[in-house]
């Protein structure tokens, strides 16, 4: 440096700044990341490599999980933190919409932006791995954690997972897709085996992971459950053969917290990192650490395998450019009060509000009772505890397990603390302004009082909910849902109000489908389904109720008329056979001719859309086949708004696919009177089935039909094509 002239020094600094700027734009490729990882790991002793793969232990570090650091060569302790919807155990963070509600937006741009703001917050707090998204399929509607993921359909989950991962990783944070695989219920989650035939595994449960790997996913978390008789975290078929082999996954496989059950078996099956390190959470023992070193010395695990584990971990770090200006970790999971006040929320609340509104599903709207601005009622009554604050206080229960007050997230490790919570009461009161009188009663059991309040008002809005969450917390007897009914006297409350008011709007915040025994009551003019909308919940809802946002959300699952109509339920057997195979969700209802109450993909708008001029063109051959279906959509109503056209394919008969499969959706914004043409492109992935005989994906040959519709049952046009 001493020999540099001033001008070359200036040039040198300028180049550094330019290259710094250019490189912080995007991730490294896997090849580039592995080059850097090789130079690091080549200098490491066996013990140092093992350190990278081993968690320091539960409640011993700043994050829910931290790896051991290395000195000479230097490599930091990596910080891993929940959750799929925001920073768990973090102060001054954003708590936005849950996964299931992100999915209900059917809005790829909004889902990407959600990933981006989360990634930005995780990085700013010095977290290397976000433990999300959850891309577990909602197999049973009772499943306690299904709300963390993206619903019943693999294609939708694949798109939502991909957009979330691209968003998170664009900020230099490793995304962790979970919980691989067949972790579809909480009941007996650590003792039961999910037995899934290979075709169903590939076409349904693996599909979103395949799309995630294509999006350069950095990490996968294996689940607590067994798959086909072996613990997921030591199952060589699902880890080595399928994930690392077939899908070509180059990132890190980490255990769920306490889901490692062996040393050599797990390492040889493909597990790369044990979290949080302990054998049983908090016992200070570990299957990796000195046990893994010993296993190498005893010849039970090859040193090459341990080198591969360390390389994967180092490569993910370099790929995310975490070696460049990575912020110091400033969360303090187990001593929250010791965390410095680092504000990372910026204007993310605006995105949360927009996404919450974009995800509201309008299930019914008779006599144009909505939007409220059309008739401008003078007096509105807000009824039910779900309209108001959480009685135990904001963040007043461990991991959001209150089960009372406004529901804006489920419970468990998949949560974050609310910085504040805009309840429906807050949001509607603020939006209604001076000219509309708002009266309320948050007591779900005081039916007479509630009736007199509803009777006096022009419109009565009843707020009800159904909650669920993770295994280690039981709320009113639930982790998986005991039933599909509303909580807190919800059905009786609705019926009581509908006895005295002819203008009833029911708002249901729920983790998943609910039964609606009052559905035929004609006084219930509207049913609104905002999901789990996070900190801005009441504002998002008011935006839709008053017509500032025209609803375009769609159901990411089927709402059945009765629980028995669903193909899969929570099982208390040790061996859980996935006997419904490919017939999950709408595919089952289609195949068996069962009418749902509200079908997958359903959602109303304040305007109407006309679909016409459907056209399909086949280009290319064999694996390069590319089918394009176009359709034009016109907003024929009076109000601007977005439509979500969906594409479903029926496959040639010999493939034995369900009657139709989602293979495309778009969100199209149209001003009143406006018309746009929408293209759906289907490529090899979309047109293939998993062949059981050859155990590989095969392009289906023969006649397909493409259906374009506003839901899985509201089909507006179809055409056939042959491959």
> Measured from the CB of residue 352, what is the shortest distance to ligand NAG in angstroms?
9
Per-position DSSP letters for 243-306, written without gaps between them: IIIIS---SEEEE-TT----SHHHHHHT--BBSSS-SSTTS---SSTHHHHHHHHTTSS-HHHH
Residue 343 sits in the site that holds ligand NAG (CB under 6 A) = yes
Do residues 216 and 227 lie in contact, with contact meaning Cβ atoms separated by under 8 Å? no
Query: Using the rule CB under 6 A, is 683 a contact of ligand NAG?
Result: no
Stretch that binds ligand NAG, among 55-63, 185-193, 268-276, 438-446 (CB under 6 A): 185-193
| Alpha-carbon dihedral angle through residues 477, 478, 481, 482, given to the nearest 10 degrees | -10
Token pair listed for 322: 């975490």
302 is a site residue for ligand NAG (CB under 6 A): no
- Residues with Cβ within 8 Å of 388's Cβ and at least 6 positions away in sequence, in order, are 405, 406, 423, 424, 425, 440, 442
19 binds ligand NAG (CB under 6 A): no
Tokens found for residue 394: 């904001």
Exposed, middle or buried: residue 10 (CB in 10 Å: 0-12, 13-18, 19+)?
Answer: exposed
Q: Which of 31, 32, 350, 368 binds ligand NAG (CB under 6 A)?
A: 350
3-state secondary structure of 440: strand
Q: Does 564 bind ligand NAG (CB under 6 A)?
A: no
Q: Bridge-partner residues for 478, per DSSP?
A: 475
Residue range at the interface with ligand NAG (CB under 6 A); choices 138-146, 435-443, 480-488, 675-683 = 480-488
If DSSP states are collapsed to H, E and C, what string results for 576-587? Answer: EECCCCCCCCHH
Q: CB of 403: closest distance to ligand NAG in angstroms?
A: 8
608 binds ligand NAG (CB under 6 A): no
Site membership for ligand NAG, residue 13 (CB under 6 A): no
| Member of 191, 373, 374, 392 binding ligand NAG (CB under 6 A) | 191
Residues between 237 and 276 with contacts to ligand NAG, criterion CB under 6 A: 263
Is 256 noted as a catalytic residue in this protein? Answer: yes
- Match 């086909």 to its residue by tokens: 228
> According to the binding rule CB under 6 A, does residue 477 interact with ligand NAG?
yes
Q: Does 188 bind ligand NAG (CB under 6 A)?
A: yes
Secondary structure (3-state) at 667: coil
Binding map of ligand NAG across residues 392-431, x = CB under 6 A, - = no contact: ----------------------------------------
Q: Nearer Cβ to ligand NAG, position 220 or 407?
A: 407
What residues form DSSP beta bridges with 419? none
- Quote the CA–CA distance of 65 and 55 in Å, as a whole number: 6
Binding mask of the shown chain, residues 611 to 650, with x at each position contacting ligand NAG by CB under 6 A: ----------------------------------------
Task: Pick the stretch among 308-316, 477-485, 605-613, 646-654 that binds ligand NAG (CB under 6 A).
Answer: 477-485
The span from the CA of 655 to the CA of 700, in Å, is 7
Report in angstroms how near the CB of residue 112 gets to ligand NAG at its nearest: 13
Selecting among 107, 256, 444, 590, the annotated active-site residue is 256
Q: Compute the half-sphere exposure of residue 99: CA atoms within 13 Å on the CB side of its CA.
A: 33
Q: Which is nearer to ligand NAG, 290 or 677 (CB)?
A: 290
The token duo for 517 is: 């025994």
Answer for the pair 98, 413: CB distance below 8 angstroms, yes or no: no
Q: Is 518 in the site for ligand NAG (CB under 6 A)?
A: no
Binding mask 570-589 for ligand NAG (x = CB under 6 A): --x-x---------------
| Position 485 contacts ligand NAG (CB under 6 A) | yes
Q: Out of 91, 140, 185, 268, point to the residue binding ligand NAG (CB under 6 A).
A: 91
Burial 56-77 (b: 16+ CB within 10 A, else e): bbbeebbbbbbbbebeeeebbb
Which of these segments, 20-28, 310-318, 346-354, 702-710, binds ligand NAG (CB under 6 A)? 346-354
- CB neighbour list of residue 347: distance below 8 Å, 6 or more residues apart: none
The catalytic site residues sit at 256
Binding residues (CB under 6 A) for ligand NAG: these are 91-92, 187-188, 191-192, 263, 285-287, 290-291, 341, 343, 347, 350-351, 476-478, 482-483, 485, 487, 572, 574
């Amino acid at each position: 440096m001493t020999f540099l002239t001033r001008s070359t020094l200036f040039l040198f600094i300028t180049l550094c700044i330019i290259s710094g700027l250019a490189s912080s734009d995007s991730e490294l490729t896997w090849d580039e990341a592995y080059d850097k990882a090789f130079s690091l790991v080549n200098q490491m002793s066996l013990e140092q490599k093992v350190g990278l793969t081993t968690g320091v232990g539960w409640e011993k570090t700043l994050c829910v999980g931290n790896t051991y650091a290395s000195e000479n060569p230097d490599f930091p302790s990596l910080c891993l933190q929940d959750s799929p919807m925001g920073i768990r155990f973090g102060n001054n963070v954003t708590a936005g919409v849950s996964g299931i509600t992100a999915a209900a937006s059917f809005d790829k741009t909004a889902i990407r932006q959600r990933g981006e703001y989360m990634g930005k917050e995780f990085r700013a707090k010095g977290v290397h791995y976000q433990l999300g998204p959850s891309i577990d399929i909602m197999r049973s509607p009772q499943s306690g954690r299904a709300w963390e993921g993206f619903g019943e359909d693999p294609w939708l989950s694949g798109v939502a997972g991909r957009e979330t991962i691209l968003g998170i990783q664009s900020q230099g944070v490793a995304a962790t897709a979970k919980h691989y695989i067949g972790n579809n219920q909480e009941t007996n989650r650590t003792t039961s085996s999910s037995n899934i035939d290979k075709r169903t595994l590939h076409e349904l449960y693996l599909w979103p992971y395949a799309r995630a790997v294509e999006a350069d996913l950095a990490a996968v978390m294996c689940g607590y459950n067994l798959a086909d008789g072996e613990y997921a975290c030591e199952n060589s078929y699902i880890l080595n053969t399928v994930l690392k082999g077939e899908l070509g996954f180059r990132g890190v496989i980490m255990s769920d917290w306490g889901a490692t059950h062996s040393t050599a078996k797990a390492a040889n099956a493909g597990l790369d990192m044990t979290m949080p390190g302990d054998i049983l959470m908090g016992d200070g023992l570990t299957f990796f650490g000195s046990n893994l070193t010993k296993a190498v010395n005893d010849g039970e695990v090859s040193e090459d395998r341990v080198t591969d584990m360390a390389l994967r971990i180092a490569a993910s770090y370099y790929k995310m450019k975490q070696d460049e200006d990575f912020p110091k970790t400033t969360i303090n999971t187990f001593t929250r009060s010791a965390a410095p006040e680092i504000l990372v929320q910026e204007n993310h609340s605006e995105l949360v509000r927009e996404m919450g509104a974009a995800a509201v599903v309008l299930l019914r709207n008779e006599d144009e009772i909505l939007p409220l601005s059309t008739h401008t009622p003078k007096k509105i009554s807000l009824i039910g505890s779900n309209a108001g604050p959480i009685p135990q206080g904001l963040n007043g229960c461990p991991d959001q397990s209150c089960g009372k007050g406004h529901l804006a997230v489920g419970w468990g490790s998949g949560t974050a603390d609310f910085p504040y919570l805009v309840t429906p009461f807050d949001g509607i009161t603020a939006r209604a302004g001076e000219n509309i009188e708002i009266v309320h009663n948050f007591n779900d059991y005081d039916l007479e009082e509630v009736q007199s309040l509803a009777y006096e008002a022009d419109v009565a809005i009843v707020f009800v909910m159904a909650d669920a969450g993770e295994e280690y917390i039981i709320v009113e007897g639930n982790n998986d849902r005991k039933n599909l009914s509303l909580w807190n006297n919800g059905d009786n409350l609705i019926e009581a109000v509908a006895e005295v008011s002819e203008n009833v709007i029911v708002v249901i915040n729920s983790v998943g489908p609910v039964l609606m025994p009052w559905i035929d009551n004609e006084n219930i003019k509207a049913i609104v389904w905002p999901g789990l909308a996070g900190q801005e919940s009441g504002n998002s809802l008011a935006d839709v109720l008053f017509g500032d946002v025209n609803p375009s959300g769609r159901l990411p699952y089927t709402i059945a008329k009765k629980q028995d109509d669903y193909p899969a339920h929570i099982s208390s057997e040790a061996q859980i056979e996935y006997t419904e195979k490919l017939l999950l969700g709408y595919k089952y209802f289609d195949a068996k001719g069962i009418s749902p109450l509200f079908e997958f993909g359903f959602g109303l708008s304040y305007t109407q859309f006309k679909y016409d001029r459907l056209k399909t063109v086949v280009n290319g051959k064999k694996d390069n086949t590319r089918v394009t279906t176009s359709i034009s959509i016109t907003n024929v109503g009076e109000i601007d708004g977005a439509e979500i056209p969906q594409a479903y394919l029926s496959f040639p008969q010999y493939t034995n696919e369900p009657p139709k499969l989602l293979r495309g959706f778009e969100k199209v914004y149209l001003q009143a009177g406006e018309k746009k043409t929408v293209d759906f492109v289907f490529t090899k992935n979309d047109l293939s089935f998993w062949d059981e005989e050859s155990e590989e994906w095969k392009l289906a040959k023969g006649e397909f039909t493409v259906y374009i519709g506003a839901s899985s049952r509201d089909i507006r046009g179809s055409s056939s094509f042959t491959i």
